Chain A
Amino acid sequence: MICSAAKLGDVSEDGIRRLVDAFYDKVRLDSELAPIFVRAIPGDWGPHLAKMYAFWSSVMLTTGRYKGNPVAKHLVIPDIKPELFERWLALFNETCGELFDDGVSEEFRAKAARIAESLKLALFYRPDRPWPPESAR
């Protein structure tokens, strides 16, 4: 099979930056995600993007550049819902596929899926309710 030569075949800080930039460009245009993100980040997106470069650098390149508490950050977002994580993942997966070859895309997607699941559990899991949650509003 012929892979597109333009796609990145390894993970680098530059690749992460391109992924994050392209992904959040999509988020800001997305009818489901944009309202949540725009409310959470009303002004300059620079600091958020820089934090996300550091986060993915820590996760994919084990640089330890990011230090934070994403569970606590997500807990305070109004109107956050389990199905928004699916939308987030769909856009993220799409962006990975546009930038990276299949192998690298899959590495990013696998990490993102695990982290999303873990955040969902932290935010929405209750011992007395079924898991996964039904997407009822």
Chain B
Amino acid sequence: MTVLQIVFLVTGLVTLLAGVMVVASPKLVHAALWLIVSLAGVAVLFVLLNANFLAVVQVVVYIGAIAILVIFAVMLTRRVMADSGPTHNPTWWLALLSALVLFGGLLALITQLPAFGATEAALPAADSLTDLGTSLVDVNRYLLPFEVASVLLLAALIGAMAVARPASEDEEGGA
């Protein structure tokens, strides 16, 4: 058992546990904070896979932006601090069963991969960042998805404003 394996197992367990606590926490704000723990666990897993850039992007975007958005949504729409969402779903055992079946199926698939069972994965070289940068603007590689991503972000921005904006003065005047 190398140190890397121990760290990986511990991180995986923490991430899973945090995921379970997200759905099992009685207080919504606690659930949001457990989500942050789970996202941080995923960031550590990225570090273990030698994907430094993805790890910091995970923290910057998911924890620094999306988690804050989720917490804002919870705090702005819940009047009482101790308010809790519904916690017990009578058919929770069915969800657990289907999750276990899915997990078993995935495990069966993965064990058939030739690389499974190696103790140390063949990780990519640490400096693939320059390659990533050129691939984003290379016409033969990811240029089109790159520009489409910006259009997608623009659409998200406009859509979010259209949904979240309070009534404008025209509507009030017309009503």
A and B bind: no
